Structure 1
Amino acid sequence: MNKVWHKGLPFSPEVAPYLRRMASVDEHREALLRLQGVWDSLALLGQMSGTATDIAQTRTAFQDLTATLLDSLARRLRTRALQRMDGKARVAIDILVRNLFERTADVGFLASDGPLCAHAALDPADPDHADSRAALQARFADYTAKYSVYDDIVVLSPSGEVLARRDDGITLTHCQEPWVAQALAADAPYFERHGVTALLGGREALVYARALRAPGGADDVIGLLCLSFRLDDEMAAVFRQLLAGDDERAVICLLDAGHRVLQSSDPWQLPVGARLPSRGERLVFAGRDYLCVAASASGYEGYMGPPGWQACVLTPLEWAFEDDEAADDALRALGESLDTRRLFDTELQDIPREARRIQRNLSRTLWNGKLRSHGQADAGTGSAEFATTLLNEVQRTGGQLREVFEQAIAKLQGSAMATVFDTALFQARLAIDIMDRNLYERANDCRWWALDVRLQRALAAQGTPQAAAAAAEAQQVLQHINSLYTVYSLLLVYDTQGRVVAVSDPAQSHHVGKPLNASWAAAALALRDPERHVVSRHEATPLYQTPGAVGSDSARPTYVYATSLQHAGHVVGGIAVVFDGAPQLAAMLQDALADMQKGSDGASAPVGLFVARDGRVVASADARWPAGSAAPLQPALLATLAAGQTLRTELDVDGWVFAAGIAMSQGYREYRQGQSASAEDVAAVLLLPLGPRAAATAGDADAGFAPPPAQAGAERLDIAAFSVAGEWLGLPAGLLVEAVEQPRLTSLPNAPRALIGMLQHAGRMLPVLDLGLALYGRASNGSEAPVVICRNAQGQGLAVRVDELGPVFGVAAAQALPSPGGRARLVRGGDASSHRMLTLLQPEDLWAHLGIAPGIGAEPRALALPSP
């Protein structure tokens, strides 16, 4: 891919326009380039003095990795910003479309309302017309009291005359706009129109309309019903929810098919009526640069919303790539305890590996340089001390470079970890919001339909000769309603004795005549206030059975909403709506899990659950936790959550660690507002996989070994240190030639386990001893472990594989203390590692390990090496 150069470094083209706004990229770039400048100065000093090891190759490797790291950081900043914005845009449009889907059903139901149709059929010259209009306006008030999503209901005659309306503050008497004729002629279940209309006082409105038919089944069009949806109110609530927290600088807007702004969360930045360009993720509006993401509706029950509508999120570029707060200690500790190969992509995993490889190579290069320095004839003189000091400074600068890399990598990984937790919490909030909004509709539906006079008359007729005909009419009404509202498995009405009178599904007519013994049925009959309703616990009911099954064992858990039916001021029965909970609740969870990466096995797949406060699963998108089972979390996590409160935590499930986002229900509009905490409260729980726990590793030498200060004027002993199996060991520096990395080995058949092969060095083949296996029975990491070339006093050569290289230093011979019961000597570390001891090995002991290998030591001179 072609790169774009920015301040001396190559970047991917997609991030180039944003680099000036990415402060963290500049911060790391300046720190790395500053250290590389120091590096260059040290390299120059080494070349001028002739004492320093050539580090140009390492410098180039660090520079290449710097470019990779900063480009990766920039791309991830961009990707995360776009993903966060895309999530909000998708939620905004999908929540709206779910809401509007219910409106398409409402207009169909209300268009069959008996008093409404009777008034539309009434001649305006009829003396009863004024009384009928007043009664209908009161009826509209009853309907809108239950559904506050409407600000007006209007009935027009076929000629456009206003026959009745909810808002009598608008004095318009006729509306003959073209869309009225289109709606009257439409055969579809609903007519949807957004725009300015005189019908609603000249304001812009979203209207759902349906032609009214003459009572008695005639096809004559007698009028037009129009429902005006509170779009401003609805979008303001959506904007508040999505911009809560630290996203106030972003702007969310609703666009029409022409990219004109219909609704805006910040009209000062993005006014309603403005037209946005339709291209690219970078947008300039009113002289300001924005990062921009637009999303179309996913659709709900086949409904896609008004044609061409989109939600769009814009973030000013100066704020789009702000650093998130650093991951807290708990997140960092969690990240260190996990196998995150699934969470972090290959590039992000490769960067720290490459940094470690470069650091190992540098350590080996400097180690060899120090060996040469300590091996010089003038060791201990000013020239040798300068060389050692220079090499130490190079090593210190390399360590600083590594620290900057580690900080940047930790930032990337911490950001990735925090993103998973943020996503889990955001999607949990989305899931519970979808559920609250959906159940708001269910609570309102049963109260709406309780206003249907045909159902009221049918129950009032029970016990009379007209009972059978009335029940048949009630069944037709329920069937019609159920065909519009497909989220129910059954609608039914029952009399004051609790006996079922009619059902919406003929296949379930076996319920007719049977008593309802559930507590909710009696509670609904006790209601006198038409604004109230009851809802069952989420529990199994014979009204909701597994399709095709019969019997109590096939009953499934769901919610049943119910209210009383009143006629002539008296309760004549009740209406109950059985929510088709299993697929509907699962679909809500699937919406929240949409587009998330699935694991290759069930254990590592995202999990979505609705869970009652007592820990019972209400609904699940995972077969491991069916409804009614115990959720994979402690109920104590939910017990103290207040309405609308959220929590993020980690959970261990089936050997995997998941980021858990938990959001408690808070209701919607009037639904469940202000209620006290209950065991029936529901929370959404979203679990996103992080990875299995990392396997425990044996201790290592990461603490380092600081050489003790040498005693002046004493006999000097030069030591080259290395670590093996977490222990610090050393050999006399004069017996070591150099360290090599990842040499190619030739295997030896029938050799002892510690003798891992032969390698070619300086024209000769040398045996290779794995010191970890030889001394501790634990092999070194063959892919990364350096190999040290040794020679003994007789000139025999030997290669020793170790774990890590340590310092090359000099001490007084008296500081190497005899080891109790052994031939090795011990050297205590300096102040920084005074608790650590280095074991100084006897060279002869290494060669003794070769004596057990047949044929290896037959010709000692064949293994001779020149003196270093």
Structure 2
Amino acid sequence: MMTAHHLPAMIQSMGSLHRYRESLQQLQSTWDNLSLLSQLSGTGTDMSETRQAFGKITTDVLDSLAQETLNKTISAITAKAQVAVDIVVRNLFERTADIGFLSTDDNLSNFLDKHIAGSVDETDYLLLRERFSEYVQKYSVYFNVILLDAGGNILVQLDDTNPTRQSHDPLIEEALHSDAPYLEVFRHSDLSPGRDASLIYARKVCHDNSDTALGVLCLCFKFEDEMDGIFKDLIRQDEWCVGLLLDEQNRVVASSDHYQIPLGAPLEHALGQDWILTRFAGRLYLAVTRETKGYQGYMGPGWRGHVMIPLEHAFEDNVASIIAGIDPMLLKKVMRSPLLFSPTLLGIPKQAATIQSKLNQSVWNGNIWQKRDASHNAQQNNFSKMLLWEISNTGFKTQSVVEKTVADLYQTVVAVMLENSRFFASLAVDIMDRNLYERANDCRWWALTATFQRLLSQPELGMQEMHAITKVLAYINQAYTVYSNLVVFDRHGRIVAVSNPTYERLTGETITADWAKAALQLRRSQDYVVSDFEPTPLYDNQPTYIYAAAIRHQEQTVGGIGIVFDSAPQFSAMLSDALPRSADNEVIQGSFTLYVDEKLRVISSTSQDFAVGSHFTVHPGLCKLAPGSTGFDIALYHDNYYAVGARASSGYREYKGAGDNYKHHVTALIFIPLGKAADINAMMDSENLLQQNQFKPVSNQAAAEDAEEYATFYIGKHWLGLPASHIVEAIQANSIKPLPDTSSVLEGMLKHKDSVVPVLNLARLTGIDFQPPEQDKQIVIVQAGPKLPKFGLLVSALGEIPAIAPDAIEPLSAFFATINIPAEGIAKVMTDKGENLLILLSAVNLITRISEAARQASVQNAETEGGGDVLEQVA
């Protein structure tokens, strides 16, 4: 939560909030002046309650807007901090597998054997260096591969520019005596003397059945290059935030902007807190820090994701641009969602309208009382009326600012959901592309396995040879569990070995699928093919991708390798990792994710509603984005509104890049629930039924001398009026005692001051469709003359008090042949909304209708209950 200590700096940085606060402060000064003038002029309008009510509601809404504005920024930078560290940890997990597998390569141990024996020649050196080159062409995340002997002498390395010939780095000695599957260091090393820090993976090289170290293999990771790519994807060029990685001493090891936050700088972390305000280099920043969630038990080098944003740019108002392309009707609906907003926040516009409605009632009564007060002269009356108008107008201004503030609040929350949907869709695609990049690398590298090349080059394979290939495949598959099966086939497409014993029955069968035929046509070690996402016997007849490459020996294709991606659990895990989460790291309930291809087939989904292979129809347009593009919208699905974010795959590094022949369009979609349509519609229908006093007093300065003021009101959408001189006041009542005859036009009896008055329901009398509210019924008390009885009219809302000349009134007969309204005429009146027709009622006719209804009710009551006069039944 925002504390009082942070509040001034925060508010000054929240542009829209600052503007609203200034506007409300100006209105508060106006209220103070109007209150004083009202007391001096004797308008009879007490504004203290209205001022207090508006004061409380504006404080509440400004506080809520401030908190949601902060939440919007915190949500965005927290997601970036979490993803920055988790994505790099995922990548480094693959590196731990690489060093473990490559260090067991027979080519390395054979070379070291020759080196120890002193029989290495130039050809051996060139072949091993060529092998390192082949490796880095595929696993392009490394800038150097180094093989050292037990004395720390560099025997073969890929980087010819590296001047180091012997290393004294303690990493070498540690690797020689360690049985760990990998060692990982990030610091300065003489293995890369030109770099301040290098991320290096090391492991000893041994023979298959020996623990005796022959030497050490080191893989040098392109850390700066990798982080540049991660930050580029996470932080747009127009964003002000700085993405960082911190080490365990909270020093910067990676920065998206070295000019703002340089490498090595010590920073204040925010671990254990949602966010902090921190000062760096004379500038105030909002900052978040997040620990990695790890990947398959691997927690990385101990780094943390950290994002900072200058406070003066932390709350820049981009909400309007975010929601600009959203259907206004859909936006209006989700902005009334009980799922996104508390009842208190959803009720603020209604609360503000109610406050203004009560103020308008006071102003309306003030105008009526001014008409009756003979102690005021005409000039004083005009001043009072102008003051009353200004009071009402100031109320409308206050209500308008409150409503605009609330609208900003609502839009901010919805914008966060839309941005989150786009962000997490991008995360889902990034995870997929990075994962499948490794699969393209694996199939090409394993195709270079010497055992495969040598054995498949033979004219015929016996059981011993097939067993040897199976053994290698099983070893690989044991280390790389993302595959369900690995298969090697000969130059005719006949399966000679599988890694998974479940599929041994397929050995000897010929693969007729197009991907296998295409693999056998490949001629370069960099080439690979990928099957369509389709069912295959190699994956229990379930759909998946198979990555394949040709196995070549002495410039001839001797077979191929197909690696069967375990798509069901792997894609499901990727999508689950990309699901949006709340502040307490719980998945947002009701959200789900999908991968959909260009044919709108579902590849994977976290929702049971979208089966793998089914056709996606909810928002198909979002699946037609250009590679790397993002989009979002609001969708209605199964009676629920969702923020739907999308990101189209664009590959990772060279995978699916400009030089890659493989192009496959996949879109990730994230659905985040925004609310149930039925709940939203019910709320909006309920609000639409409520009619408030929304009139604005009109100026009577240009009225004719013989013009008479009419007090007006609404029954539903119908505008009616009585001479203002016939009106006692307007009140709100909850204690109307109903009469026994519910069909009567009499609503009931009401105690008003020292008398009991009947209340006429004009809607029932005229057949107008109007359902009065259960609470705060609007009643107009009428008394046409001192000797005539008082009565009440149940109305929907109060209207203006215009002055109308007699010659401007037309008899109803001029408009209608027959009418069931006790009226005298009709007039065209100019209001702030334009010209409108006002039906002028007759108080005498209304009294007659009340008397008739009362007599009928009394007779019916006497017949059924033996009771007396219904008008004598008093609450």
Aligned mate of 1:61, from 53, 70, 84: 53
Distance 1:191 1:483 in 2: 20
Asked if 2 retains the 8 angstrom alpha-carbon contact of 1:766 and 1:863, the reply is: no
Query: How far off is 1:97 after superposition?
Result: 1.3
Query: How far off is 1:289 after superposition?
Result: 0.8
**Equivalent residue for 1:8?**
none
Asked if 1 retains the 8 angstrom alpha-carbon contact of 2:740 and 2:857, the reply is: no
Asked if 2 retains the 8 angstrom alpha-carbon contact of 1:770 and 1:779, the reply is: no
Pair 1:682-2:696 in alignment = no
Greater shift, 112-121 or 18-27, is seen at: 18-27
**Equivalent residue for 1:273?**
264
Pair 1:458-2:452 in alignment = no
Distance 2:375 2:91 in 1: 86
**What is the number of equivalent residue pairs in this alignment?**
840
Identity of aligned residues (%): 36
Query: How far off is 1:88 after superposition?
Result: 0.9
Query: How far off is 1:529 after superposition?
Result: 0.5
Distance 1:705 1:679 in 2: 64
Query: How far off is 1:632 after superposition?
Result: 2.9
Pair 1:595-2:581 in alignment = yes
Pair 1:77-2:100 in alignment = no
Pair 1:609-2:600 in alignment = no
Distance 1:699 1:564 in 2: 72
Name the SS of the counterpart of 2:452 in structure 1. Answer: helix
Distance 1:239 1:501 in 2: 45
Query: How far off is 1:747 after superposition?
Result: 5.1
Distance 1:575 1:24 in 2: 61
- Going from structure 1 to structure 2, the CA distance change for 1:160 and 1:119 (only over 3 Å counts) comes to same
For residues 742-770 of structure 1, what are the alpha-carbon distances to aligned partners after superposition, in whole Å with 9 as ceiling and x for unaligned? 52455555533765555443244545555
Query: How far off is 1:676 after superposition?
Result: 10
**Equivalent residue for 1:350?**
347
- Going from structure 1 to structure 2, the CA distance change for 1:642 and 1:411 (only over 3 Å counts) comes to same
**Equivalent residue for 2:187?**
195
**Equivalent residue for 1:802?**
795
Aligned mate of 1:254, from 245, 262, 271: 245
Asked if 2 retains the 8 angstrom alpha-carbon contact of 1:829 and 1:837, the reply is: yes
**Equivalent residue for 1:565?**
551
> Which runs of 5 or more structure 1 residues have no equivalent in the other structure?
5-11, 546-554
Pair 1:100-2:92 in alignment = yes
Distance 1:188 1:103 in 2: 14
Aligned mate of 1:317, from 307, 311, 315: 311
Distance 1:288 1:273 in 2: 18
Query: How far off is 1:634 after superposition?
Result: 5.2
Distance 1:170 1:712 in 2: 96
Distance 1:525 1:601 in 2: 45
Asked if 1 retains the 8 angstrom alpha-carbon contact of 2:854 and 2:870, the reply is: no
**Equivalent residue for 1:650?**
634
Distance 1:735 1:408 in 2: 40
Describe how 1:232-381 pairs up with structure 2 within 5 A.
232-247=224-239, 249-279=240-270, 281-307=276-302, 309-326=303-320, 327-328=323-324, 330=326, 332-338=328-334, 339-377=336-374, 381=378
Give the TM-score, by structure 1 length. 0.90
- Going from structure 1 to structure 2, the CA distance change for 1:521 and 1:382 (only over 3 Å counts) comes to same
Greater shift, 268-277 or 342-351, is seen at: 342-351
Aligned mate of 1:531, from 513, 522, 526: 526
Query: How far off is 1:627 after superposition?
Result: 1.3
Distance 1:532 1:792 in 2: 97
Query: How far off is 1:25 after superposition?
Result: 2.2
- Which amino acid is 1:630 matched to? H
Describe how 1:516-555 pairs up with structure 2 within 5 A.
516-545=511-540, 555=541
Distance 2:811 2:337 in 1: 46
Query: How far off is 1:182 after superposition?
Result: 2.6
Distance 2:280 2:701 in 1: 69
**Equivalent residue for 1:811?**
804
- Going from structure 1 to structure 2, the CA distance change for 1:13 and 1:359 (only over 3 Å counts) comes to farther
**Equivalent residue for 1:9?**
none
Pair 1:214-2:207 in alignment = yes
Aligned mate of 1:668, from 649, 652, 668: 652
Name the SS of the counterpart of 1:662 in structure 2. Answer: strand
- Which amino acid is 1:671 matched to? Y
Distance 2:325 2:502 in 1: 59
Greater shift, 282-291 or 672-681, is seen at: 672-681
- Which amino acid is 1:666 matched to? S
Greater shift, 19-28 or 125-134, is seen at: 125-134
Pair 1:390-2:374 in alignment = no
- Going from structure 1 to structure 2, the CA distance change for 1:475 and 1:572 (only over 3 Å counts) comes to same
- Which amino acid is 1:516 matched to? I
**Equivalent residue for 2:137?**
145
- Going from structure 1 to structure 2, the CA distance change for 1:397 and 1:587 (only over 3 Å counts) comes to same
- Going from structure 1 to structure 2, the CA distance change for 1:721 and 1:525 (only over 3 Å counts) comes to same
**Equivalent residue for 1:428?**
425
- Going from structure 1 to structure 2, the CA distance change for 1:650 and 1:568 (only over 3 Å counts) comes to same
Describe how 1:158-197 pairs up with structure 2 within 5 A.
158-197=150-189
Query: How far off is 1:619 after superposition?
Result: 1.3
> Which runs of 5 or more structure 2 residues have no equivalent in the other structure?
none
Name the SS of the counterpart of 2:578 in structure 1. Answer: helix
Name the SS of the counterpart of 1:199 in structure 2. Answer: coil
Distance 1:678 1:135 in 2: 29
Asked if 2 retains the 8 angstrom alpha-carbon contact of 1:210 and 1:225, the reply is: yes
Query: How far off is 1:52 after superposition?
Result: 4.5
- Which amino acid is 2:554 matched to? A
- Going from structure 1 to structure 2, the CA distance change for 1:105 and 1:462 (only over 3 Å counts) comes to farther
Pair 1:728-2:712 in alignment = no
**Equivalent residue for 2:610?**
625
Asked if 1 retains the 8 angstrom alpha-carbon contact of 2:580 and 2:591, the reply is: no
- Going from structure 1 to structure 2, the CA distance change for 1:289 and 1:324 (only over 3 Å counts) comes to same
Describe how 1:634-645 pairs up with structure 2 within 5 A.
635-639=620-624, 641-645=625-629
Query: How far off is 1:524 after superposition?
Result: 0.3
Name the SS of the counterpart of 1:69 in structure 2. Answer: helix
Distance 2:760 2:842 in 1: 15
Distance 1:378 1:812 in 2: 25
Asked if 2 retains the 8 angstrom alpha-carbon contact of 1:773 and 1:779, the reply is: no
- Going from structure 1 to structure 2, the CA distance change for 1:272 and 1:347 (only over 3 Å counts) comes to farther
Greater shift, 503-512 or 627-636, is seen at: 627-636
Query: How far off is 1:288 after superposition?
Result: 1.2
Name the SS of the counterpart of 1:198 in structure 2. Answer: coil
**Equivalent residue for 1:853?**
857
Distance 1:705 1:362 in 2: 11
- Going from structure 1 to structure 2, the CA distance change for 1:532 and 1:678 (only over 3 Å counts) comes to closer
- Going from structure 1 to structure 2, the CA distance change for 1:689 and 1:632 (only over 3 Å counts) comes to farther
- Which amino acid is 1:391 matched to? L
Distance 1:494 1:507 in 2: 17
- Going from structure 1 to structure 2, the CA distance change for 1:127 and 1:87 (only over 3 Å counts) comes to same
- Going from structure 1 to structure 2, the CA distance change for 1:301 and 1:531 (only over 3 Å counts) comes to same
Greater shift, 234-243 or 718-727, is seen at: 718-727
Distance 1:812 1:675 in 2: 85
Asked if 1 retains the 8 angstrom alpha-carbon contact of 2:550 and 2:561, the reply is: yes
Query: How far off is 1:410 after superposition?
Result: 1.4
Query: How far off is 1:740 after superposition?
Result: 2.6
Greater shift, 686-695 or 408-417, is seen at: 686-695
Asked if 2 retains the 8 angstrom alpha-carbon contact of 1:704 and 1:833, the reply is: no
Cα RMSD between the aligned structures? 3.1
For residues 364-423 of structure 1, what are the alpha-carbon distances to aligned partners after superposition, in whole Å with 9 as ceiling and x for unaligned? 211221221223336882222222111011111111111111221111112222222221
- Going from structure 1 to structure 2, the CA distance change for 1:810 and 1:712 (only over 3 Å counts) comes to closer
Describe how 1:105-120 pairs up with structure 2 within 5 A.
105-120=97-112
Name the SS of the counterpart of 2:188 in structure 1. Answer: strand
